[in-house]
C-alpha cells in the first residue's frame, strides 16, 4: 500500500514538472526554430523522392516512407505558425497572419498534393510519381511565393 502511494505521488510530481515545462513552452524563437526544422525535414524528404524518381538511387522502399513523411509533417505545419511569431529570425511574411484563411488554404492544397504523391508512390508507377512530385513542388512554391520572404 505504502509502495503504491509512493508510486502515485511520484507520478503526480512528474506530471507537475512536465506541466510546468509546458507552460513555459512555445516562446516565439523556439516555435520559429520548430517550424524551420519541420520545413527542412519536408525539404529533405521531397529531395529524396526526386532522387528516386530520377533513378539516381534505386532504394524504391524509401518512396512510401518519404512520401508519407511529407504528408505527416505538413499536417503538423499549421500549428507551427501561431500569432506572435512574425518577428525574429524568420522568413515568414506578416501576410500569414493578415490573411490566415489564404495561408491555411495554401497548406491544405499542398497536403492534398502530398497525399496524391503518397497514393502514386504506393501504386509504384514512376511516371505517375514524377507527375505527382511536380504538382507537389508547384504547390510548395505557391505558398512560398505568397508567404515566405525570398532569399537574397
Nearest to 52 by CA among 125, 3, 108, 102: 125
Map residues 17-36 to x or -, x wherever contact with ligand HEC holds by CB under 6 A: ---------------x--xx
Residue found by looking up cell 500569432 in the block: 83
Interacting span for ligand HEC (CB under 6 A) from 21-29, 50-58, 127-135, 136-144? 136-144
Nearest to 45 by CA among 26, 32, 64: 64
- Maximum Cα–Cα distance across the chain: 66
Q: Is residue 42 at the binding interface for ligand HEC, with CB under 6 A as the rule?
A: yes
Distance CA 139, CA 74 (A): 12
Q: Is residue 140 at the binding interface for ligand HEC, with CB under 6 A as the rule?
A: yes
Residues that bind ligand HEC (CB under 6 A): 32, 35-36, 39-40, 42-43, 46, 70, 90-92, 103, 106-107, 110, 136, 140, 143-144, 147-148
Amino acid at each position: 500500500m505504502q509502495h503504491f502511494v509512493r508510486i502515485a505521488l511520484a507520478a503526480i510530481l512528474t506530471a507537475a514538472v512536465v506541466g510546468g515545462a509546458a507552460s513555459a513552452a512555445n516562446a516565439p524563437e523556439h516555435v520559429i526554430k520548430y517550424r524551420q526544422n519541420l520545413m527542412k525535414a519536408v525539404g529533405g524528404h521531397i529531395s529524396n523522392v526526386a532522387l528516386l524518381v530520377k533513378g539516381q538511387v534505386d532504394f524504391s522502399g524509401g518512396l512510401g516512407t518519404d512520401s508519407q513523411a511529407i504528408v505527416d509533417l505538413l499536417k503538423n505545419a499549421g500549428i507551427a505558425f501561431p500569432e506572435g511569431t512574425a518577428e525574429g529570425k524568420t522568413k515568414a511574411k506578416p501576410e500569414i497572419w493578415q490573411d490566415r484563411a489564404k495561408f491555411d488554404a495554401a497548406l491544405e492544397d499542398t497536403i492534398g498534393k502530398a497525399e496524391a504523391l503518397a497514393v502514386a508512390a504506393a501504386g509504384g508507377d514512376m511516371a505517375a510519381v514524377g507527375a505527382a512530385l511536380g504538382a507537389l513542388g508547384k504547390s510548395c512554391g505557391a505558398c512560398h511565393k505568397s508567404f515566405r520572404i525570398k532569399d537574397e
